[in-house]
Amino acid sequence: MHEERLSPGLGRLIDAAKAVAARVDPTLPRTEVVALLTAIGAVYAAPAGEDQQGCPVSAAEAALALARAAGDGEVLTAVVTLANDASESVSPSPATCRSLAELDPELPMVVKQLGRWVVVPLSRLWPPV
């Protein structure tokens, strides 16, 4: 699937992930960013980081927390990208896969493969939980 052929919703989702990635501290290489599209059409995007106790939080957990705080829980699809990294291919981290597989092991994921955005089920990227 070519980026220029994506549906407006998926294009908006990718744009949200890219916008958050552009704001990540450049001294933090390869910071994962996840954006979620929910059933009401809302987009929530967040980078991996730490919680208030300094414990690591995956990008998926951070984006899910934003959605839940807004009272929006039905995730339709997710996109993953990396900040401060120009890789041609990007796959979600194991922590992100685990978090999203709890929602739906077949969740449609938008990832970059060989320089193109493609949609694949999560189960093709990570064994189902």
With respect to residue 49, please indicate whether it lies within any of the assigned structural domains. yes
Higher pLDDT pick, 4 / 40: 40
Q: What is the CATH number of the domain that holds 60?
A: 3.40.140.10
Strands (E) in the chain, as ranges, are 31-38, 43-47, 49-50, 56-57, 75-83, 108-113, 116-121
pLDDT over threshold 80, residue 73: no
Let me know if residue 129 belongs to a domain. Answer: no
Listed in sequence order, the DSSP H helices in the chain are 8-22, 59-69, 94-103
Give the pLDDT score at 28: 83
pLDDT (tens digit per residue) in 8-60 = 778 899 999 999 999 999 888 889 999 999 999 899 999 999 888 888 999 99
Q: For residue 86, is it within any domain?
A: yes
Mean pLDDT, residues 76-80? 95
**pLDDT tens profile 98-122:** 999 999 999 999 999 999 999 999 9
Domain that holds residue 102: 3-124
pLDDT digits (tens, 9 = 90+) for 37-51: 999 989 999 999 988
Residue 68 corresponds to which tokens in the numbers above? 């839940």
Give the count of domains, the chain: 1
